[in-house]
Amino acid sequence: MAQHDKNLTVIPMEMREFGSFNDLEAAGIDWNNVLSHSLDDNPFLTYEWLSEWWRSFGKGRKLQLLAVKEEDRVLLMIPLMISTYKAFGVKFRKLEFVATPASDYHNFVMTDFEKNAEVTELLRKKLRQNLGVNSMELTEIPEHSWTAKFLGDLNMDGNWKTTTRSLNLCPYINLPESMDKLLGNLGSNFRRNLKRWQKSAEKDYTIRFLKCNEIGSVEEGMKIFFELHQKRWASKDKPGLFSNNQFKDFHMAVAKTFAQKGWLSLFFLTFNGTPVSAIYGYEYNQKMYNYLTGFDPKYEAQRPGSLIFKNAIEYSISKGVTEFDFMRGGESYKTSWGTIARRNLEFRFLKKGFKSNVYSWITNSPRLMNLSKKIGGKMELDSR
């Protein structure tokens, strides 16, 4: 090293842990700005989604926001939490992603791959520490992400048992430059059916495709959406997600915040002015994310679900959106649109011992899972 370099102060890379979102801001970390420089920028990793979920469901949990910094640069961020569960008198502490299970995608937010080796080593050391948990259960991680590779290569010591499994298929469409081109790529039977359903509905109704602002306020639009979603599930004698008022309030808050950011996509199909189907999703980073849908079963014969998707996809193409993501779930109606699919993975690191054996026994049995009680705010994710 040259003589004049000897007095240089070397600022090492460091892993920092934050116990609140306010602490993060106080440290000068702009979460969304860092996220925008990562390869995995999606609405479920935004500050707005994570902090709103934490306000709604964080009680009884411990927040653990990790950040790797080098000088003023943030190289990695991870939104984690420790949740305590109780089943049959046994308490179990688990490290998981913030907003589990509401988020369709989870990831570590990695921004500088030139520093990959150093960041990886810091993170390995952190996760190998005794964090006071019985397991690390990291779910809904896209299979081709940096996070999946890191966790797949992570070797814990002999006190931990590691398992990896596929969780969900996530179908999506790479949108072409025109709706005609997309329709031309679909199966001939489905194309004919779309035309037939459209003509059949038009015989009896005046059909309109509306965005939320054409229906009313965000609050009014979300209330209509909640009702349509619940009607669908009530027809199947199931409670529906929005029978849970806490979950409903969370999404109302998210919708209002996302609308201010220009991220909310709330669409309706009306027959003679009456909303008969809805799509609740997010337009973010040139992608359309279909989070939840709803329709009135009274109009099921007119296929309002398929017709609203046709309009929503056409709208997305007109806006220059590059991808329409149907997200979690391999339902057959998604494949009709010529989708391809990604897969989400789960990585579970289970500390060996009695509690872990009880936990494995319960989580591998659906009947026992229904009997278990979660501490710190239970939220059940129903079939979508």
Q: Examine the pLDDT at 364 and tell me if it is beyond 70.
A: no
pLDDT at 130: 64
Q: What is the DSSP string of 303-341?
A: -HHHHHHHHHHHHHHHTT--EEE--S---HHHHTTT-EE
- Residues β-bridged to residue 65: 18, 79
Segment of 1-15, 115-129, 144-158, 216-230 carrying the highest mean pLDDT: 216-230
The pTM for the full model equals 0.89
Q: How far is CA 182 from the centre of its chain?
A: 26
User: b or e along 222-239 (b: 16 or more beta carbons within 10 Å of the residue's beta carbon)?
Assistant: bebbbebbbbbbeeeeee
Domains present along the chain, CATH in parentheses: 8-169+343-374 (3.40.630.30), 176-321 (3.40.630.30)
Distance CA 313, CA 334 (A): 12
As a whole number, mean pLDDT of residues 12-28 equals 90
pLDDT in tens, 169-180: 999 999 999 999
**pLDDT for residue 8 is more than 50:** no
> pLDDT per residue over 288-310, tens digit each?
999 999 999 999 999 999 999 99
Between CA 146 and CA 77 the distance in angstroms is: 13
Strand ranges (E), 54-159: 62-70, 73-87, 90-97, 109-110, 135-142
How large a percentage of the chain has pLDDT more than 70? Answer: 89
Tell whether the model's pLDDT for residue 314 goes beyond 60: yes
User: Quick one: DSSP state of residue 4?
Assistant: G
Helix or strand (DSSP H, E) at 175? none
Whether residue 382 contacts residue 373, with contact meaning beta carbons closer than 8 Å, is answered with no
Cα 343 to Cα 142: distance, rounded to the nearest angstrom: 6
Comparing 8 with 132, which gets the higher pLDDT? 132
Cα separation of 376 and 126, whole Å?
25
Q: What is the pLDDT of residues 253-290, one digit of tens each?
A: 999 999 999 999 999 999 999 999 999 999 999 999 99
Q: What is the pLDDT of residues 178-232, one digit of tens each?
A: 999 999 999 999 999 999 999 999 999 999 999 999 999 999 999 999 999 999 8
d(CA 348, CA 164) in angstroms, rounded, equals 6
SS3 354: helix
Least Cα distance to 146 among 345, 348, 378, 377 occurs for 345
Chain segment 82-113, per-residue pLDDT in tens: 998 877 777 888 999 999 999 999 999 999 88
Mean pLDDT of the chain: 88
* Burial (CB count within 10 angstroms: exposed 0-12, middle 13-18, buried 19+), residue 285: middle
